[in-house]
Amino acid sequence: MSTIAHRHIDIDGLNVFYREAGPADAPKLLLLHGFPSSSHMFRDLIPLLADRFHIVAPDLPGFGLTDMPSRETFSYTFENIATVIGRFTEQVGFDRFAVYVFDYGAPTGFRLALAHPERVTAIITQNGNAYEEGLSEGWNPIRAYWEAPTQANRDALCPMLAKETTVWQYTHGVQDVSSVSPDGYSLDDYYMSRPGAHDVQLDLFRDYRTNVALYPAFQAYFREHKPRVLAVWGKHDPFFLPPGAEAFKRDVPDADVRFFDTGHFALETHAQEIAAAMIEFLTR
């Protein structure tokens, strides 16, 4: 088993935490987590890949052990998050890399690819959406906030930040709930319970509309640059539906799409299977 290093790096005054493993001269792989988690979600995946790849997995701004600056000093938008992660890749020497994107990591990674298509060698999207048909009705309360950003609509989203909802995200669609370690959702709830964290997340709910507005640009990138794409999808995801995975084939006809009998946090139950699919895909 490869040793995983736990590091911090200053990115323009922001303290970014990240996990690193694998030989420095191996092909580079960037792992981008989603809501409401952190790089901790890759704790099972990294050891399965570290003998073949040089891996870095940062915590996004406002998540995990990366700084959560005040909303007065940092605007919580996906554009700003992508800018920080773009600078992070430059600072750690990731000039050419494959990227694994999940949930919020998807619009972050796709923005990086739009800005620097020459840097991205392949995309592994695990329930990381870029198509309208991938959005379930579970987005309706957030869509209501996009359309009318009132305090009442903002307050209506607060239950999505409760511990019970986080546990549900981890366990919904899982065949054997006992197979899901409580470590992941308990740690997520700890970070989400910090002062100010809920407002940060509500700001990101509001800004997610900019990601949907960029779907046509993401799709144009796929058509023009034809990156290698592997979609590994928990087919019972309550937020990102299987048609969103299939849709990648529309713009990248050779996209490899695989479904797993699990939910949103597919790595909690299928890390071995997803790692095997990634190794096959990336070394093909």
Extract the tokens encoding 17: 């935490």
CA–CA gap between residue 79 and residue 114 (Å, rounded): 12
List residues with catalytic annotation: 264
Q: How far is CA 244 from the centre of its chain?
A: 15
Of 22, 80, 87, 75, nearest to 51 by C-alpha is 22
CA–CA gap between residue 154 and residue 149 (Å, rounded): 7
CA–CA gap between residue 129 and residue 102 (Å, rounded): 8
Q: 97-102 and 54-58: which strand pairing?
A: unpaired
CA distance between the termini of the chain:
23
Token look-up 């870029």 returns 130
CA–CA gap between residue 259 and residue 274 (Å, rounded): 10
Helix, strand, coil shares of the chain as percentages rounded to 5? Answer: 50, 20, 35
Of 222, 200, 260, nearest to 80 by C-alpha is 200
What does 30-48 look like in DSSP terms, one character per residue? EEE--TT--GGGGTTHHHH
